[in-house]
Structure 1
């Protein structure tokens, strides 16, 4: 997995016509799987041929028996039929197995690429995307492509070769019938192509509506508590009903178009059968065809249309497939927010100095700057508190330090090295981040703590929990460190989750520490205990603390005041009180120990992606 660039294994085909671009993208992921595909196609051809051969030999036996042909003449055909039936059953199983084995291998590869893309773009590139859209891309859209790989790609080859072979067989004993049927077979195959533009448009609309429904359902489930508390379930239900009906309308339109395709294909097939009956009967009456071959000619005529009609039915899904492919590959090829070209790994044995110079940044698609000309130096081992109202740019500063984004202008140096020259993975190993809103996986407490250092021993995890003042409450849980915390840690209190965040930081033991008000979720009694843990955690580390509480500010060596993305004051608490009116206003506006609206505000537009600003 790389933080560097978008996945380039699927070619960049922006200027390529839509259908060709989609096909090339879908074929580009088949590297290393061509042998399975080729074997599946070969078995598919044999399977379709054996089915048609069964029908042809069977009808020949029936025709021979009806016309009084001696048993000795058609007895070999009977044994041939028995062998063909057995072979057909085996080949059908093999074709199904190989086609789906191939398809599921490709889908597994695509899921991995989608996950790699999400990880590469993390954590804030998709802030403007609803979680339901991402879920639809990662799951539903990838699954939709199964139709292409399992039922369309191989069928395209099989449905071209087999009807051609059958037409040649018909031409061997009734050339006129072969010539009459060929244009109709071609027309059945072209029907989906003629309606492809409409299918593509409807497929895109349908996938978009499906993603909307997914997003609304996920919102409703995640916000169920609030809906119940505020009695808004009925309103949300009406909204779900509305988007559901919009989806139904698009599904009906899609079904009508697919039904029209199948109706045309069915009509052409029926016309072909009538022509086959008439031509074969005429040939028998003229003595140009043996009566015992009459049913064979009719059956083979029907068999010509079978594979093509089946392929036409599968092509009816190409609109949805094309839309799903567009969404999947647009995600895979989305450019990263940072370019990981660093070649200078960092392995810091001591707390580093951090120098920020002329830093400017604005979020994508937001013209207003989040940071403007921010400069300061964080000395080795120093604890710098960054304060300011909501939207001041506090969390943006930490995101740039960890290279979730790169600045539009300016630099960040760590021990004299530009962080852009450091591989992203190496840089982030030097930084322990304690967020205000910790994410916990639906797993055991031990594994959630060990996320900071995969492979850490149980003893190391327990020691980190002790240092974070979390060991006591963990041991009191029913299964101790093996207790599953539930989705997003729902079974733990906010204070307990915060102490697990501290335990992760202790376990990582990085020389740089970023704290985003690590005591914000604690009551006064627990705050005193955790403050003791924080004092130990900050020891011998260069620390940047996003501070909202006065108690946190007073523990800092120095304070940096931000206002609308600019530095308006630096110094100690007493210095800023004496000479910085903006700082005095901030302190005067504190409530319950919190600084103004800075404790948890998320209202400023350009900090909408800052979950901690």
Structure 2
């Protein structure tokens, strides 16, 4: 727990000026409680014993002034402490996002998207609540407790010892509950992540849910996840609220002993009634901040549970990193070579001893059954993963020896998933080259055959296309992705099933745009339709992670191998486009 607190403190430290100001206000607030309890005795003696009417007349104004100062100090403390906490948690959220976005694809394939979102949002929110409690309430209540204990011991050390003896006893249940609360807090955050994951799946897959009419099934799944979260939160509520009644019972013993012992001293004339009342006032006031300190400890346990989950992600090491002496590539010719490349996911071999060479301007098509390793092969060129054996070379440079940023600047990708952002048309095209001029954006749109439909939109290039380009057709989204790749002007191009989800009319328009994009570039095409690969310089046929055939379209048909089987499967009912499976 100590190391978690230290890490939290490192995030808080940059905002020490706000915290210092809040501490001054907090100290004043806490000291006011002690001053109030201390002044009870002399004021009562002046009024009731000395009959001092001046003090009596000023007393109401004094009470108002004291509470006004306390209120101002509390506001100052809360404002600056909470804003410091908010800024610290903002830094945590920025760090977890930055760390996430630089992690490899393997990490994201192992994690549920909704669960990751929950860590960034829900876990950090739990941290924020805990930090706010810790740095807002703890200091104020601690100073107030110390000031009141000072008054208690000053008034009568014997009574103070009696009242003080019960306080260590109250710590025992807090310690016993703290470990349980921490475990419960962590588990409840995990269950909340499950709810977030289910929501993410539901909203992204709503079309499938409705098409199969399984809304009630999804409702039952969500209700079950929500119920599980409630079970863990019920445990949290159960144990976190045990402290207060236990502490009240224990402290009542101390209060009873003080009342009996102190009352006896007053009746024996060994202590004035005013001093005893001052003592009782201080003792009554001290138990409130003590209870809040115990509650803060419970909140801190929840904060620690959430912080552990957050720091797990922040501490996750990227699988793909630059070598210590990584070379920065200038613009390459576009020569790509794989030498004896093998790659596996866990224990599963995906590619086995694959070798190929692509010259500048050559178009290489990759075909094969589903799961044959096509997408993995091009992913290794982009260094989304590192090979287990062999090497991937670009212009003779091992991709592991060059900086990742300079490598990816040489490659443009048009994927079967048309990923667009909730931004304007222009900014989506400019995504591959943020400093592109309006003229370059327009030229890329024209080359991608997207200019005409863009100009028909309400605000042209400044039209917002909605989440994932929901306001566009499939063909329009794909042409924007092609324009995005065009404006990047990279020497190596990867087309991963770029026309697989389009109708015939849209495919023809997209294919024309692709032809513009492919000029003077080294191109790797993962083929789904025959129109994409007919004119490829070479077609590589993959099966079970190996290249089993290589040649032109006509050469492969004449060999009567796997390629011909795939071809015949598509043409058995007439001359239709070749579908060779998804990667």
TM-score category, normalised to shorter length: over 0.9
Query: Is 1:88 the equivalent of 2:79?
Result: no
Indicate yes or no: 2:257 matched with 1:278: no
Counterpart in 2 of 1:8?
none
Structure 1 residues 552 and 427: alpha-carbon distance in aligned structure 2, compared to 1, 3 A threshold: same
Deviation string, structure 1 residues 365-387 (Cα, Å, up to 9, x no partner): x3111111111111111111111
Could you tell me which runs of 5 or more consecutive residues in structure 2 were left unpaired when the two chains were aligned: none
CA shift, 1:573, in A, is 1.6
Residue from 223, 235, 247 that aligns with 1:265: 247
Distance 1:191 1:112, change over 3 A: same
CA distance in 1, matches of 2:102, 2:41: 61
Match of 1:545 among 525, 530, 533: 525
Gaps in structure 1 of 5+ consecutive residues: 1-18, 601-612
Asked if structure 2 preserves the Cα contact closer than 8 Å seen for 1:343 and 1:423, the reply is yes
Q: Pick one of 339, 353, 372 that aligns with 1:392.
A: 372
Is 2:34–2:147's contact at 8 Å kept on the other side of the alignment? no
**3-state secondary structure, aligned to 1:574:** helix
Q: Is contact 1:468-1:533 (8 Å) kept? A: yes
Between the aligned partners of 1:389 and 1:595, the Cα distance in structure 2 is 12
- 1:74 shift after superposition: 6.7
> Displacement of 1:287 after TM fit?
2.7
The normalised TM-score by structure 2 is: 0.93
Superposition RMSD in Å:
2.3
Aligned counterparts of 1:297 and 1:89: Cα–Cα separation in 2: 24
Residue 484 (structure 2) aligned to one of 504, 512, 516: 504
What secondary structure sits across from 1:370 in the alignment?
strand
Q: Whole-Å Cα distance in 2 between the matches of residues 31 and 357 of structure 1?
A: 51
The TM-score normalised by the length of structure 1 is 0.89
Judging changes above 3 Å, is the alpha-carbon distance between structure 1 residues 283 and 402 closer, same or farther for their aligned structure 2 residues?
Answer: farther
Q: How much does 1:199 deviate?
A: 0.8
Cα deviation digits, residues 322-374 of structure 1 (max 9, x gap) = 221111000111111212235211121x53211111111122xx311111111
> Residue 369 of structure 1 aligns to a residue in which SS?
strand
Among candidates 438, 445, 452, match of residue 472 of structure 1: 452
SS in 1 for 2:495: strand
CA-to-aligned-CA distance 1:62-90 (integer Å, 9 cap, x gap): 56545564235677877764543332122
1:435, distance to aligned residue in structure 2 (A):
0.7
Q: Give 1:524-535 correspondences, 5 Å limit.
A: 524-535=504-515
Is 2:418 aligned against 1:438? yes
2:442: which partner in 1? 462
1:245 correspondence with 2:234: no
Which residue of structure 2 lines up, in the alignment, with residue 312 of structure 1? 294
Following superposition, the deviation at residue 222 of structure 1 comes to: 2.5
For 1:84-118, what per-residue CA distance to the aligned partner results, in whole angstroms no more than 9, with x for missing partners? Answer: 33321221111011111110111110111111111
Cα deviation code 1:552-581 (max 9, x no counterpart): 111211111111111112221222223361
Name whichever of 278-287 and 374-383 sits farther off. 278-287
Deviations 1:138-169 (A, max 9, x none): 10100111133211145444444432332222
Q: Distance in 1 between matches of 2:168 and 2:256?
A: 17
Aligned residue pairs, count: 579
**Distance in 2 between the 1:521 and 1:354 partners?**
28
How far did 1:221 drift? 2.5
Q: Say if 1:276 and 1:301, in contact at 8 Å, map to a contact too.
A: no
**Equivalent in the alignment of 2:383:** 403
The answer to whether the 8 Å contact 1:371/1:565 transfers is yes
Residue 115 of structure 2: aligned partner: 133
Aligned to 1:487: 467
Contact 1:431 1:510 in 2 (8 A): yes
Aligned mates of 1:290, 1:245 — CA distance in 2: 59
On the 8 A contact 2:499/2:528 being kept in 1, the answer is no
Cα 1:81–1:212 shift into 2, 3 Å: same
Residue 295 (structure 1) aligned with residue 273 (structure 2): no
1:182-201 correspondence to structure 2 within 5 Å: 182-201=164-183
* Aligned mates of 2:26, 2:131 — CA distance in 1: 14
Return the alpha-carbon distance in structure 2 between the equivalents of residues 333 and 395 of structure 1: 29
Residues 41 and 142 (structure 1 numbering): CA distance in 2 closer, same or farther, change over 3 Å?
same
Comparing 529-538 and 206-215, the one that deviates more? 529-538
2: distance between equivalents of 1:186 and 1:69? Answer: 42
In the other structure, the counterpart of 1:347 is 330
Aligned residue in 1 for 2:82: 100
Q: Which has the higher helix share?
A: 2
Residue pair 1:133, 1:211 contacting (<8 A) in 2 also: yes
* 168-177 or 187-196: bigger deviation: 187-196
Give the drift of 1:502.
0.3
